[in-house]
Amino acid sequence: MPKKAKPTGNGKEEESVPCKQVKREASGRPSLLNFDSPSSLFESLISPIKVETFFKEFWEQKPLLIQRDDPSLAAYYQSLFRLSDLKSFCNQGVYYGRDVNVCRRVSGKKKVLNKGGKAHFLQLRKDFHQKRATIQFHQPQRFKDELWRIQEKLECYFGSLVGSNVYITPAGSQGLPPHYDDVEVFILQLEGEKHWRLYSPTVPLAHEYSVESEDHIGTPTHDFLLKPGDLLYFPRGTIHQAETPSGIGHSTHVTISTYQNNSWGDFLLDSISGLVFDTAKEDVALRSGMPLRMLMVETPAVATRKLSGFLRTLADRLEGRKELLSSDMKKDFIMHRLPPYYVGNGTEMLEPAFSILGKKLPRLDSIVRLQFKDHIVLTVGPEENQSDEAQQKMVYIYHSLKNLRQTHMMGKEVETEAYGLRFPLSHVDALKQIWSGSPIPVKELKLHTDEEKENLALSLWTECLIQVV
């Protein structure tokens, strides 16, 4: 069915804007978000765009704007975060820098107007109205249940951390100068309106954040107005700036971001060290010493050729590798992601939803099934806290059931702990049986003894990773 032309933010018809203009879709009346599964949540988030179309035409390629005219959806978006929410959050205790920033664009730069210590609502309101400052609230999913619910499902969908920031900007003001980010960005307009301008990337799929001078970014490729219920997506590296128009009150939007440090390059850096370690134990050439004084001079051509040969050897070994690939990225993701959403305050580990109290223990004659699969990773790696000579391969299971919601995406200064289990490498086939997701009798697990089978099931059950069916 052909798409109808829709006016842009500046009143022009879609056909009259450049071919790079952000795509617009007439949505009709989209339903509210569907939380039945991670995929259904994402599908409803970008409705009416089809998921296949999104990843084929837009993901990591170009922006997408979905403009909607649905009062019920606009009201739902508004419930995600309001300016009035700040008062109750301040009463709970929020701090400048960690939880909230007060800022404004001044002479092409970001000027931070933070006080110090604990933020008070009256002071925030004063800076908002008198200094025309933007209030940037960090990681609101720690406070707002519905954002926790959305972002937890999106982390399951993307397999990557999903953070968020709320920006509340008064009329006639702009909080940030033109810049680009190192994350995939989804903007949900919650309150009021915001005027957005996007520009061609200078660094496609950028790996870092950077402020750009307005003298060097050229003319906008996209120019539009976001209204409550609208959604905007753009890839990392997209240069952007936004301001609240005069005379409309204030604007509130939430930026939901993902895929930071989640590229093939990142995965290669993460995986290559373990592969080199394993290969060097079997290939004497990798254990032979470098030429004398090589670290003190420019790398000679013969050394470059030698390294190229080693890389070809590693590539051959990687293609023939059958065991699970060890990856610190997996562990880091699970350690820092949100726990599963449940009705509660999210500040205590192992709420009743994940309790084993009163539940049937697995026995040899039991049938068990994996649960919370989206919150668990299975990997193989060397035994920790052992010398290189004594290291044995182990199977590690990490999960996020005990993670704390209030520390989500709060940076390296927050202490986090990896929760999970480890088993001998001989258990890997039995674990893969369970990881298939289908119910399986304990007695059919691929282990040598009935005692090992029952102990494996009991260990997983104690961590709430399996259930008896």
Q: Taking a C-beta distance cutoff of 8 angstroms, is the pair 127, 102 a contact?
A: yes
pLDDT at 21 over 80: no
| Residue in the structure block whose two tokens are 């373990």 | 274
Amino acid at 298: E
Weakest-pLDDT range from 3-12, 91-100, 214-223, 269-278: 3-12
pLDDT at 70 over 70: yes
pTM: 0.87
Which tokens go with 443? 């007695």
Residues 6 or more apart whose CB falls under 8 angstroms from that of 433 comprise 440, 444, 445, 446
Query: Dmax of the chain from CA atoms?
Result: 75
Amino acid at 409: M
pLDDT at 326: 62
Q: 369 forms bridges with which residues in the sheet?
A: 467
pLDDT at 23: 44
% of the chain beyond a pLDDT of 90: 70
pLDDT at 450: 97
Which tokens go with 302? 């013969």
- Span between the terminal Cα atoms of the chain, in Å: 46
Q: Which whole number is the average pLDDT over 275-293? A: 89
pLDDT at 391: 63
Report pLDDT digits (tens) over 329-345. Answer: 989 999 999 999 985 54
Report pLDDT digits (tens) over 173-193. Answer: 999 999 999 999 999 999 999
pLDDT at 303: 85
Report pLDDT digits (tens) over 297-322. Answer: 877 788 889 999 999 999 988 887 76
Residues 6 or more apart whose CB falls under 8 angstroms from that of 407 comprise 142, 414, 416
Which tokens go with 438? 């289908």
One-letter-per-residue 3-state SS of the chain: CCCCCCCCCCCCCHHHCCCCCCECCCCCCCCCCCCCCHHHHHHHHCCCCCHHHHHHHCCCCCCEEECCCCHHHHHHHHHHCCCCHHHHHHHHCCEECCCEEEEEEECCEEEECCCCCECCHHHHHHHHHHCCCEEEEECHHHCCHHHHHHHHHHHHHHCCCEEEEEEEECCCECCCCCEECCCEEEEEEEECCEEEEEECCCCCCCCCCEECCCCCCCCCCEEEEECCCCEEEECCCCEEEEEECCCCCCEEEEEEEECCCCCHHHHHHHHHHHHHHHHHHHCHHHHCCCCCCHHHCCCCHHHHHHHHHHHHHHHHHHHCCCCCCCCHHHHHHHHHCCCCCCCCCCCCCCCHHHCCCCCCCCCCCCEEEECCHHHEEEEEEECCCCCHHHCCEEEEEEECCCCCHHHCCCCCCCCCCCEEEEEEHHHHHHHHHHHCCCCEEHHHCCCCCHHHHHHHHHHHHHCCCEEEC
How far is it, in rounded angstroms, from Cα 100 to Cα 115?
10
Weakest-pLDDT range from 132-141, 244-253, 287-296, 389-398: 389-398
The residue that leads in pLDDT, 358 or 268, is 268
pLDDT at 420: 92
Mean of pLDDT over the chain: 87
pLDDT at 134: 97
pLDDT at 358: 62
Report pLDDT digits (tens) over 341-398. Answer: 985 544 444 444 566 666 789 999 999 999 999 999 998 877 766 555 556 788 999 9
Q: Taking a C-beta distance cutoff of 8 angstroms, is the pair 401, 335 a contact?
A: no
Q: Which whole number is the average pLDDT over 231-260? A: 96
pLDDT at 272 over 60: yes
How far is it, in rounded angstroms, from Cα 410 to Cα 138?
8
pLDDT at 266 over 60: yes
Q: Which whole number is the average pLDDT over 80-90? A: 95
Amino acid at 178: P
pLDDT at 271: 85
Q: Taking a C-beta distance cutoff of 8 angstroms, is the pair 99, 119 a contact?
A: yes
